[in-house]
Amino acid sequence: MPEAAALELDEVEVRYGSVSAVRNLSLRVGKAEIVGLIGPNGAGKSTTLHAVMGLLPAHRGEIRLHGQPLRRRSAESIARAGIALVPEGRRIFGDFTVEENLRLGLAARRKGYMGDPLAPAFELFPVLREFRRRPAGALSGGQQQQLAIGRALVSRPDILLLDEPSLGLAPLAVDGIFKAFTEIREVGTTILLVEQRAQRTVALASRTHVLVGGELRMTLGPADAEDTEKIIAAYLAS
């Protein structure tokens, strides 16, 4: 019997009222793997992450963490079970200092870690250590995104969910965070990445699923990254 996937969605359906935003979605994310989720606006990508995080109930189907179903657990308890979401728009606390924002991430950390609890964030993004006393609202957009990712990492999650982390960032800052994703995977963290930058995502992830109209349309591998036509066709396949 194969080892249970780190995160597994099994025929999941999510509804807003009577409209289903995600239908019959099944996917597996293995340990220390990056899986991408791309698709046009309104395809149900963020909805999927919200369902995993317990912010939205799954109308049908099951979501499992290490084989354990997450049904009816609250966002706060899912966070403490080892899933961290970096939400769209970053959602940092602008009036708090950088360090306070990072310390909030510790709320979901499980027991048994030694040393500086903020080290995972500082090692990956040294600028956060430098600016630790500044109000988070005073950071640049790229630094705020680093802070949001750092805040998720200090909880030492097994699985990191990223919701359009490159949105609104300058090209250099985008390079920075994509490089960080590789480093995060290398320490054994699993990543489910929702992105609009399709080509970069396909190149980075071991598999990238294309979601159109709430349904899984196609799965691309790193080899498809150069095949722009195939990616565009996947988007338009409706």
Sites of contact with other proteins (CB under 8 A): 53, 55, 74-76, 79-80, 85, 87, 91, 93-96, 100, 103-109, 151, 155
- Minimum CB separation of residue 107 from other proteins in Å reads 4
Q: Which residues of 99-132 are buried (b: 16+ CB within 10 A; e: fewer)?
A: bebbeebeebbeeeeeeebbebbbebbebbbebb
Least distance from other proteins to the Cβ atom of residue 76, Å: 5
The size of the chain, in residues, is 238
| Alpha carbon distance 68, 65 (integer Å) | 5
Return the SS3 of 108.
helix
Q: Which amino acid belongs to residue 131? A: F
Nearer to other proteins, 94 or 168 (CB): 94
CB nearer to other proteins: give 81 or 231: 81
Q: What is the DSSP letter of 207?
A: E
Question: Closest approach of Cβ 122 to other proteins, in Å?
Answer: 18
| Comparison of 108 and 174: residue with beta carbon closer to other proteins | 108
For the CB of residue 96, give the shortest distance to other proteins in the complex, in Å: 7
Write out the DSSP string of 151-165: HHHTT--SEEEEEST
Cβ proximity to other proteins: between 93 and 235 the closer is 93
β-pairing verdict for 60-65 and 7-16: antiparallel
Q: How far apart are CA 117 and CA 156, in angstroms?
A: 9
CB-wise, 47 or 208, nearer to other proteins? 47
Whether residue 231 contacts residue 220, with contact meaning beta carbons closer than 8 Å, is answered with: yes
Q: How far is the CB of 24 from other proteins (least distance, A)?
A: 26
Nearer residue to other proteins within complex by CB, 80 or 217: 80
H/E element, 202: helix 198-204
Least separation in angstroms between CB 95 and other proteins: 4
